[in-house]
Amino acid sequence: MTPPVTVTVTGAAGSIGYSLLFRTGAGQLLGSDTPVRLRLLEIPSAVRVAEGVAMELDDCAFPLLDSVDIFDDPRQAFEGANVGLLVGARPRGKGMERADLLQANGAIFAPQGRAINDAAADDVRILVVGNPANSNALIAASNAPDVPKERFSAMTRLDHNRAIAQLAKHAGVHQSQVRRMSIWGNHSTTQYPDVFHALAGDRTGAELAQDAAWLEHDFIPTVARRGAAIIEARGASSQASAADAAIDHVRDWFGGTPSGDWTSAAVWSTGHYGVPDGLMCSFPVTSDGKGWTVVDGLEHGPFSQARIDASIAELVEEREAVRALGLI
Ligand code: NAX
């Protein structure tokens, strides 16, 4: 058994939290020999619900769950955190403009960034799930000046997993046979799921992408708009699949990506592929268990490059808006 790891989860009373917390308690986040101390953060009006979730966590009698504590103060919630899963966010309300959305989320992620800076453990790693995830991660990271930027990431793993499933169907192979998928850019409808560098069984993504109608009118829009399709069918947004992606992201970050493969995550850019410095941009990445490394050396044709550029332009615009609001 390794020493317990402290995991802070925000939005603990929400929909994704309800899947994520039980899988974390069961040991799926950090492995079956790592006990977990959960610190849950909620807004005051949702603390009672979080208490109910904690009662259910008790009732699972998970051997690896050391403790569960609930807070409505970020400073306390992030005390000693080794891992932060920032799920709670402000959804876009009726008539809300993008600036209103960024401001409302800035009011959440700037104080959480400061709390992480002041209270978290020295080795803290942060995954931002709450939308707009890339900009929320940028705000949190910018408000935590003492924490290295590479310890922050935003989740595009759900998009990555969705893209794997779609390519597997198209290629007629099992999803376990798809490797080297990449999501580029923003976790939004401008994201670019790149099949050209992927492999599906013994076929290359480039070969499969020769079906241009499938690529442009099926694969890309299906992946980019999957969240809306789930809401339309289920009457509720992605829950279990989002929690599953967060588990995958953290497991690979700490445990390493399989050799010969990579995953996707939004990380602080340091100029890879011409992406401006300091954008939280999704790239293909590997992990050696210590941190993410952007996969270098992939070449893009004009079709891919135009789409990647469009998503990066959106990230730049979001950053300008966040800057204008004084959030970074
Ligand atoms: P819910 O609305 O069910 O839950 C959100 C919870 O966050 C609520 O309980 C709320 O009280 C809490 N919260 C709000 N402000 C908070 C604060 N300042 N501190 C702590 N908790 C706070 O949403 P859910 O379905 O769980 O989704 C959570 C977030 O994930 C949303 O922003 C959603 O858009 C985003 N998603 C991101 C995905 C990604 O791939 N990056 C995919 C799934 C999901 O759509």
The 3-state secondary structure of 151-183, one letter per residue: HEEECCHHHHHHHHHHHHHHHCCCHHHEECCEE
Binding site, annotated residues:
11-17, 92, 98, 105, 112, 129-131, 162
CA distances from 220 to 29, 159, 226, 228 (A): 29, 11, 10, 14
104-160 pLDDT per residue, tens = 999 999 999 999 999 999 999 999 999 999 999 999 999 999 999 999 999 999 999
Query: Which residue has the least CA distance to atom 25 on ligand 1?
Result: 15
Residues ≥6 apart with Cβ < 8 Å to 235: none
Which is catalytic among the residues 160, 187, 197, 249?
Answer: 187
What gap in Å lies between CA 281 and CA 72, rounded to an integer? 30
181: alpha, beta or left, given left = phi > 0 and alpha = psi -120 to 50?
Answer: beta
Task: Of 38, 39, 40, give the one whose Cα is nearest residue 11.
Answer: 40
The structural domains of the chain, ordered by start, are 5-154 (3.40.50.720), 157-318 (3.90.110.10)
Q: State the pTM of this model.
A: 0.98
CA of 170 to the centre of ligand 1 (A): 32
Testing ligand 1's pocket by substitution, the residue of 9, 20, 41, 42 carrying the most ligand atoms inside 8 A of its CB is 42
CB-based contact 304:298 (threshold 8 Å): no
- What is the ipTM for the molecules in this complex? 0.99
CA of 259 to the centre of ligand 1 (A): 33
3-state DSSP helix/strand/coil percent for the chain, to nearest 5?
45, 20, 35
* Residue 31 β-bridge partners: none
279-305 pLDDT per residue, tens = 999 999 999 999 999 999 999 999 999
CA of 88 to the centre of ligand 1 (A): 4
